[in-house]
Structure 1
Amino acid sequence: MHVLLVNPPWAPADLPSLGIGILHAAVSRADPEARVEEIHANLEWLDWIADRQDFTSHDYEYYSIQRYFRGLGDWIFSSALRGRPSSTPAGEEDSRLAMTSWLHALAPRFVEELADRIIKIAPDVVGFAVTFQTTVAALALASQIKHRDPTIVTVFGGANCDGPQGTAIHRNYPFVDFVVRGEGDVTLPSLIRLLRNQADRTDADFATIPGLCWRSGNGRTTTNPLARRPVLASMVPSPDYAGYFERWEASSARHTAEPQLVLESARGCWWADAHACTFCGLNGSMTTFRSKQPERFFAELIDLVRQHQVLDVIAADNIIDNGYYASLLPALARSEYDLRVQYEVRSNLGIQQLEMLAKSGAAIIQPGIENLSSPILKLMRKGLTGYQNVRMLRDAETVGLTVLWNYLYGFPGETERDYDKIVEQIPALHHLFPPQGCSRIQLQRFSPYVESPELGFPDVVPHEQYALSHDLPESELRDLAGLFDAEPRGIPEAFSQRFAELLGTWRQSYAESQLSFLDTGEDIVLTSRRPAFRWDRRLRDPVAAEAFRILERPRTRAALARDLSSRLGRPLAPPALAPLLDQWRALGLVFEESGHLVRLAVPDRNQSLLHLGNTTACRARTDPRHSRYPQTVLGDGDLGEDDASAVAHRLASGGILRVTLPGLVDLADADAGPRTARALSLVRELTAHAIHVEWRARTAPDLALTPFCHLYPPAGLVGGGSDALERWHDRFYVGLCAYRRGPGFIQVRDRRWDELRRFTIDDARYLATIEALSNSVVADVAPDVALALEAESLVRRFGAALWWVPCPLRRWPLPAPL
């Protein structure tokens, strides 16, 4: 049995298909004699276009991701499915009109060419992973395959085939032989085994496979009931991504994007098991939560990272298993690999859980914040409050996590009054991670809003995109659709536009905004550098200082008064605190919502140095508050230590935020040798920890400084042009040239010359050399390896000393980039 699995356009180009990876492994495990191959038609399509037009992975992402809710990607392939072109949908961007129309016109040719290739491969079964905007491309390709060879069996499965959607596809498109609804891990291997045994099978055999859509002898669609029980997490194999990465290496996409791993440690949603959010339909027909044993998932993750040498991982889970904070995440932290993992979490996490996420490499979280108003969150059935969400944003900023979230509106029962207090306080939040977007909710299949009209949307209709791509009556589109339209609810459009503009200002201001504090024990030093709040304060009064400390957690005014009375040993009534709290509201120091206050300032850990786009963080050297900050002045003896990493780690662990180096670091004199290399090694390691470094350098007019611009800029340059230091400031950010450790390899990402230069190093001799140079500048290393690294500007020679150039990745920039 020859099985060909297809990942159609417009599946994301930089992500392997989790479904295809799992099904490849599942079919191979269930039937070792089966020959399983893959065609990554998404990459085929991208390269096919790039051969004819200037088209990059960024252009592909526009149609794949950015225009998903318009269905533009599906419409492009509707010309191949229908056999005729149609007018470009209204609302398309003018700058994209010509490209969009051209893609629509060429799609049939691509589909025909790919169908010809598949026929030459001569598979017995072609399976299509149908999710998001891949349905129409998959249908068009399946149609052409069956037209050329009716004996090839076509099978559809994936999120767009769940529930009635799968039945509608099977019922309306006769060239689709089978549709697997629900989880396919067991269903598809069962179907493959049945198809292999042609002589013995009967219709009754097909009727035994849960969730399967098939045709009986009369040609009519038969839909089997979905499985009653979910697939156990222990039964789900590790995905096989070998085919994807082999194809990726040959794709033009590799020049403008980096691939990431997609893994799942859990399925379902433990929150939805009891309280499904009203707008969410992500779990489809099976919400039951189950997760992999942490030891098993850790081994699976590390094995795939090692196999494919990719350190960026997206967890496809709808929500992390709460047990992982004490099991999986500590194991990842102990591994000392520089992973970048993205996880979906709840927004009521404590600071210890967020710190564990950061230590483990889970640098990006998606906490489902959605809104900052408790009454609206109650309409969503989120089980969370607005002040909890603000606390999450504050604590994520504290530990250095990138927060992915969108502000949603348009809920039945929502009013402008619910936004009044939020609108007033948005400027106070500019130092916290802003929402990526602001949009009216999109009604999704399987969501309570669609399944239960009494919740506020009684007359939902299929989204208009489906009629643009399918020649079907509305009754069939209703079953086929995954997205729906309805009369808008909640705040009016004019108000929502003004609110979106307010959030846009937040996004623009974040990079250079700051609200931080230092608690000396005697007083609290506060710094605010937000557009609407520029001030410095000290809280010396014991009542104010203790109130500030208590508001680390949300409190009502009455609860704050009780806690203060207990700590200070004297009674305090809420009215006595009103002037102080009202002043703090006016200063943007606290956020007040639904009767609860929470402080907004974050403990100063030099977070402003991590903000990408912050052009002022390194320039504020004369700020008087710095005299109060934990700092140290190093002597020549410190520069004599070989292990700069250990010195920087000791300082960072001790809470040091500023370090002053002695003397001049001579960048121009080769005879300066070991001292220069050791000084630069220390600057490199301190930069990686986002510690302010006071140092001075000597250069020469003809010395290029670009090789050094990933280091914290010096306070002064002796020699060289007058604008050289300014250019250094403009170019610098933490992570500009950095390396990350993986199991058996090192990755370097170097942007010092504006373009991204990528290196993956797995040769044992090179790894040994890098290990030696990262610990000592006079190490005994292989000369040929040192020369090769020097040629790529990854090693620099100072006399007899060799300096390893890239910074380690100790702290991620915000947002955490690839």
Structure 2
Amino acid sequence: MKLALVAPPWNSLYRPSIQIATLAALEGTGDGDPITPVYAYLDWFEYAVDALECDPAEFVTVYDTIGEELYGLGVGDWIFGGVLDAHGPGEEADVRDRYAAFLTEHGVAEELVGRVLALRAVAPGFAAGLAGRLVATGAECFGFTTSFSQLMPALAVARAVKDQAPERLVLLGGANCDRPMGQAVMRAYPFVDAVVQGEGEAAVAAVRAARGAGDLAAAPGLVLRHEGGLRVSLPTVQPAESAPVPRYAEYFERLRALPHRELIAPHVALPFQMSRGCWWGEKLQCTFCGENGSGMVYRSKPGEQLTKTLRRLTEEHGVFDTYAVDTILARNDNGLAELAAAEVDITTFFEVKANLGPREVGEMRAAGVTMVQPGIESLSSGALKLLRKGATAFHNLRFLVLCQELGIDAQWNLLSAMPDETAEMLQEQLRLIPFITHLAPPSTVSKVRVDRYSPYFEKPEEFGIALDGPEPKYRFVHAGRTAAERAELAYSFDHVELAGRDDSAMAAEMLALRRRLGARVGLWKKLHDQSRFSFRFGPNMTVLHDGRPHVGTGRHVLRGGDDQLFRCLVHGGRLHQAVGQVAAMTGRPEDEVHARVREWARRGWVHLEGRRGLVLAVRDGMRDELGRAAELREAAAESERAAAESGMAGAGSGRVGAGR
């Protein structure tokens, strides 16, 4: 069957859809009919600019805001929901008024609310026009990828396709169709012929080889209509190596024909994938994370494939910015060392675990990793334990120090309001923040959300919570559905705590502390650009410059034992080793050296956690970031060699490596 793969709004304008591009690349393998990728989100950008007669540069911002920042309010989905609801004029006016009030209540600016309403008004015309063009391709089956805010846009266009060509097949896949959610889509929207659960390669291969719908009965991962019900074929877990390099030619072809492409083209980054699943989640899934759904099993391509993949993509498209869609960076054979040795000017992004040490972070920067999303989530070790992050505040702070030192943009989020959170967990972060304004602040501060497939969702009673129905946005997104149907379609849910917060005074205290935390992070963001806390090593001395607003103490020169003590705690060190070394070198009593460490902790020069200490200042070695990255890698390697030779692995440097 001839297949068209459609990427609906609100995929990022700056990234070709890796979902449809990976599946389109299967056309070069095996037998079967051709695959046509359709970048409908670029079509939507062009259509909306013309329909609204708005400034294209302004609409780029509107599009990005809806696709990223307003996902939690269901905006992108609601805009296309009107195609499916088919309200009369009076009822539609009421729907618009109620949703506008909902957005306003959640702080959305009046001008942006107006844009949202205007986009809903023109969405039916876009869906009908796109459906006509899809049908004209001659494809016999139309597959829509859906994640985040793409479900209702996909359904809107699929409905329009079926209206124009009822004999053609429409199927949906992606995160919004995983496991029970996909079956719920089929029950709620009867024009959908099939959904793909899990990874799509096997299902697409089956569609290409099929002569008709009857040949799809045994296709892996497909849910089909059968005798008034649904027939479910279990998905297969694909080896990572089976996924081909994405085929992005059609994205760039469409981009070249796009009016106002100059607003998008300079910012394009090429997505790639080296692994699927999550090795940490296999071991101990984070309590709030439902990201991998049925695909938690971790599989990774050989590290040597990283350089080959990025070389091929950049050579084909002349784009040097790349973006890994992996849930987590591989622990061992991740290919970064080979990429660093390749000496190509590629920049890239990875999601990483935050317990990486100096060698690993140095290797990332040497390989061209200029942006990361570390799973920091909190700066309280107690809260991190509740979240099952497998890291502590020490690890998170060390990672932020290293990123600041190496010029890596760390994009992270701060979570609060998790079950069993205590006032002390919030207070320790409030005390810490004034001392770390020179480090990258979190992008957002938000309450923990209960997502489908997360431990919070699967076993809420273990965490002392009860689910309290889907989040309010689903009342608007799936307005024509029953409460039971919305619960099956929803991904995010409200919850209540069963015990421990009954006391109104305690609840009020926690709410006040969370608001203070949000306000303090807001101040952190304002102060960050002017905050400086750095040091430089000299001959037998360390010069410290403390220019942190409100807490900075100016310039300090450390000599002798203080110089040695400071050096022992740079990038983290064992306190007993550092103190013992300084006491032996200077003849000072260990109690006196410990007192010095405690004094530095009060000043916010070092962070203490159990038996470890970490200098919070950033080294200003007057070298570029790549020079510092190379130095960190070489120093760590030399330390490891020395430790191995002495039979005392890890003891020589006094530093804590990744994963310890």
Q: Which range, TM-score by smaller chain? A: 0.7 to 0.9
Which residue of structure 2 lines up, in the alignment, with residue 31 of structure 1? 31
Looking at structure 1, the residues matched to 464 and 581 of structure 2 have their Cα atoms a distance apart, in angstroms, of 42
- Structure 2 counterpart SS, 1:363: strand
CA 1:653–1:119: 2 relative to 1, 3 Å: closer
Aligned match for 1:399, one of 382, 403, 406: 406
Which residue of structure 1 lines up, in the alignment, with residue 369 of structure 2? 362
Identical-pair percentage: 32
CA deviations on 1:41-83 (whole Å, 9 max, x unpaired) are: 1111111111232243221101111101111110111111212
Looking at structure 2, the residues matched to 651 and 591 of structure 1 have their Cα atoms a distance apart, in angstroms, of 23
CA 1:342–1:652: 2 relative to 1, 3 Å: closer
Looking at structure 2, the residues matched to 249 and 337 of structure 1 have their Cα atoms a distance apart, in angstroms, of 26
Looking at structure 1, the residues matched to 119 and 440 of structure 2 have their Cα atoms a distance apart, in angstroms, of 37
Looking at structure 2, the residues matched to 161 and 366 of structure 1 have their Cα atoms a distance apart, in angstroms, of 25
Which residue of structure 1 lines up, in the alignment, with residue 357 of structure 2? 350
Check conservation: 1:343, 1:364, Cα contact below 8 A: yes
Aligned match for 2:165, one of 149, 156, 164: 149
AA aligned opposite 1:22: T
Looking at structure 2, the residues matched to 535 and 449 of structure 1 have their Cα atoms a distance apart, in angstroms, of 46
- Structure 1 counterpart SS, 2:231: strand
Report the CA distance between 1:261 and its aligned residue.
0.4
Which residue of structure 2 lines up, in the alignment, with residue 78 of structure 1? 81
Which residue of structure 1 lines up, in the alignment, with residue 554 of structure 2? 535
Aligned length: 601
Long gaps (5+) in structure 2: 502-506, 633-660
Which residue of structure 2 lines up, in the alignment, with residue 101 of structure 1? 117
1:374-523 alignment, distance < 5 Å? 374-454=381-461, 455-470=463-478, 471-487=480-496, 492-523=510-541
CA deviations on 1:217-244 (whole Å, 9 max, x unpaired) are: x2322223343xx200111111111111
Which residue of structure 2 lines up, in the alignment, with residue 733 of structure 1? none
Report the CA distance between 1:426 and its aligned residue.
1.0
Looking at structure 2, the residues matched to 221 and 53 of structure 1 have their Cα atoms a distance apart, in angstroms, of 45
Check conservation: 2:466, 2:496, Cα contact below 8 A: no
CA 1:570–1:650: 2 relative to 1, 3 Å: closer
CA 1:603–1:175: 2 relative to 1, 3 Å: same
Looking at structure 2, the residues matched to 483 and 249 of structure 1 have their Cα atoms a distance apart, in angstroms, of 37
CA 1:560–1:319: 2 relative to 1, 3 Å: same
2:607 is equivalent to residue 591 of structure 1: yes
AA aligned opposite 1:41: A
1:185-584 alignment, distance < 5 Å? 185-194=201-210, 196=211, 201=214, 206=217, 208-216=218-226, 218-227=227-236, 230-252=237-259, 254-257=261-264, 258-324=267-333, 328-454=335-461, 455-470=463-478, 471-487=480-496, 492-532=510-550, 533-540=552-559, 542-554=560-572, 560-565=578-583, 567-568=584-585, 570=587, 572-573=589-590, 575-584=591-600
- Structure 2 counterpart SS, 1:5: strand
CA deviations on 1:360-381 (whole Å, 9 max, x unpaired) are: 1011111211111000000001
Check conservation: 1:449, 1:456, Cα contact below 8 A: no
CA deviations on 1:530-562 (whole Å, 9 max, x unpaired) are: 11214000112x322222122125457556434
Report the CA distance between 1:484 and its aligned residue.
1.3
2:144 is equivalent to residue 128 of structure 1: yes
Check conservation: 1:75, 1:104, Cα contact below 8 A: yes
CA deviations on 1:293-335 (whole Å, 9 max, x unpaired) are: 222332122111111111111100011112245xx21222222
CA deviations on 1:268-312 (whole Å, 9 max, x unpaired) are: 111111110001111111211111122233212211111111111
2:42 is equivalent to residue 43 of structure 1: yes
- Structure 2 counterpart SS, 1:487: strand
CA 1:594–1:46: 2 relative to 1, 3 Å: farther
Looking at structure 2, the residues matched to 128 and 304 of structure 1 have their Cα atoms a distance apart, in angstroms, of 24
CA deviations on 1:160-184 (whole Å, 9 max, x unpaired) are: 1101011101122111101000011
Check conservation: 1:142, 1:154, Cα contact below 8 A: yes
Looking at structure 2, the residues matched to 556 and 324 of structure 1 have their Cα atoms a distance apart, in angstroms, of 28
Looking at structure 2, the residues matched to 223 and 116 of structure 1 have their Cα atoms a distance apart, in angstroms, of 30
Which residue of structure 1 lines up, in the alignment, with residue 643 of structure 2? none
CA 1:479–1:440: 2 relative to 1, 3 Å: same
AA aligned opposite 1:186: A
AA aligned opposite 1:14: Y
Check conservation: 2:21, 2:37, Cα contact below 8 A: no
- Structure 2 counterpart SS, 1:495: helix
AA aligned opposite 1:427: P
- Identify the range of structure 1 (257-266 vs 548-557) with the bigger mean alpha-carbon deviation: 548-557
CA 1:299–1:558: 2 relative to 1, 3 Å: closer
RMSD: 2.5
Looking at structure 2, the residues matched to 461 and 352 of structure 1 have their Cα atoms a distance apart, in angstroms, of 45
CA deviations on 1:464-500 (whole Å, 9 max, x unpaired) are: 2222122212222222111111237898333222211
- Structure 2 counterpart SS, 1:175: coil
Instruction: Normalising by structure 1, report the TM-score.
Output: 0.70
Report the CA distance between 1:211 and its aligned residue.
2.4
CA 1:578–1:296: 2 relative to 1, 3 Å: closer
Check conservation: 2:426, 2:514, Cα contact below 8 A: no
Check conservation: 1:561, 1:572, Cα contact below 8 A: no
1:611-630 alignment, distance < 5 Å? none
Looking at structure 2, the residues matched to 553 and 120 of structure 1 have their Cα atoms a distance apart, in angstroms, of 61
CA deviations on 1:701-756 (whole Å, 9 max, x unpaired) are: xxxxxxxxxxxxxxxxxxxxxxxxxxxxxxxxxxxxxxxxxxxxxxxxxxxxxxxx
Which residue of structure 2 lines up, in the alignment, with residue 782 of structure 1? none
2:54 is equivalent to residue 53 of structure 1: yes
Looking at structure 1, the residues matched to 29 and 464 of structure 2 have their Cα atoms a distance apart, in angstroms, of 47
Report the CA distance between 1:9 and its aligned residue.
1.1
Check conservation: 1:58, 1:256, Cα contact below 8 A: no
AA aligned opposite 1:213: V
Looking at structure 2, the residues matched to 148 and 652 of structure 1 have their Cα atoms a distance apart, in angstroms, of 58
Check conservation: 2:162, 2:168, Cα contact below 8 A: yes
Looking at structure 2, the residues matched to 175 and 373 of structure 1 have their Cα atoms a distance apart, in angstroms, of 49
- Structure 2 counterpart SS, 1:322: coil
Report the CA distance between 1:578 and its aligned residue.
4.7
- Identify the range of structure 1 (230-239 vs 510-519) with the bigger mean alpha-carbon deviation: 510-519
Report the CA distance between 1:596 and its aligned residue.
4.2
Report the CA distance between 1:595 and its aligned residue.
6.5
Looking at structure 2, the residues matched to 225 and 462 of structure 1 have their Cα atoms a distance apart, in angstroms, of 27
CA 1:304–1:653: 2 relative to 1, 3 Å: closer
Check conservation: 1:463, 1:483, Cα contact below 8 A: yes
Check conservation: 1:432, 1:510, Cα contact below 8 A: yes
Aligned match for 2:194, one of 174, 178, 185: 178
Looking at structure 1, the residues matched to 304 and 599 of structure 2 have their Cα atoms a distance apart, in angstroms, of 51
1:615-654 alignment, distance < 5 Å? none
Looking at structure 2, the residues matched to 602 and 295 of structure 1 have their Cα atoms a distance apart, in angstroms, of 33
- Greater length-normalized contact order (CA 8 Å, ≥ 6 residues apart): 2
